[in-house]
Amino acid sequence: MMQATFNTLVRPYLVLRIGLTMAATIVGLPLAIIWFCGVGQWWARHYYAKLSCVLEDRAIRFKRGIFIEVEKTIPLENIQDVTFIEGPILRRFQLSILKFETAGHSEGQAHDMQLVGIIQAHEFRSRILEARDALRARTTTESVTDVLLRIEVLLERLAERKG
């Protein structure tokens, strides 16, 4: 089990990203002013305090939210790839995004998961992929062992019938 830690610079990044999104529309401009005057900092502080991501033996659990708490669990066997994203704004805040591509995933589905601001994101990404590969290897070995045991039982039954 590995607990991810998040960079505190996630807070100003989220305030800026959400505030600029609001300011991009005429209707959202008054809300953006209120957002930048303090509501955004309050929200980001509480949002950051609730962020949690844990890599377990068989899944990744991610929690976030203030009023509406969201907990997502992605089984490791469903993970196809973990993409590392870093752009100029993210680099300015010393942040990156880990985006999970899962089996059966198509663009725009709600089960898509992105983690912003994990400290040592490259290492966390590597650990996830290693854990996924180890789980697949264990599952394959267990499947082969189960098949061999069933074959052994069938052979024993055949031997009993003949003998």
Which is more confident, 103 or 157? Answer: 157
Q: Is the pLDDT of residue 110 over 50?
A: no
- Cα 125 to Cα 23, 95, 103: the distances in Å are 34, 14, 17
What average pLDDT does the segment 97-126 reach? 80
pTM listed for this prediction: 0.75
The dihedral sign for the CA sequence 7, 11, 12, 17: positive
What average pLDDT does the segment 69-81 reach? 91
The pLDDT confidence band at residue 105, using thresholds 50, 70 and 90, is low
Residue 131, token pair as written in the block: 């854990």
What pLDDT score does 123 carry? 94
What pLDDT score does 106 carry? 54
* CATH fold of 2-162: PH-domain like (2.30.29)
Q: Of all residues in the chain, what percent carry a pLDDT higher than 90?
A: 61
What pLDDT score does 107 carry? 56
Q: How far apart are CA 106 and CA 100, in angstroms?
A: 12
Decide: helix, strand or coil at residue 50. helix
The pLDDT confidence band at residue 6, using thresholds 50, 70 and 90, is very high
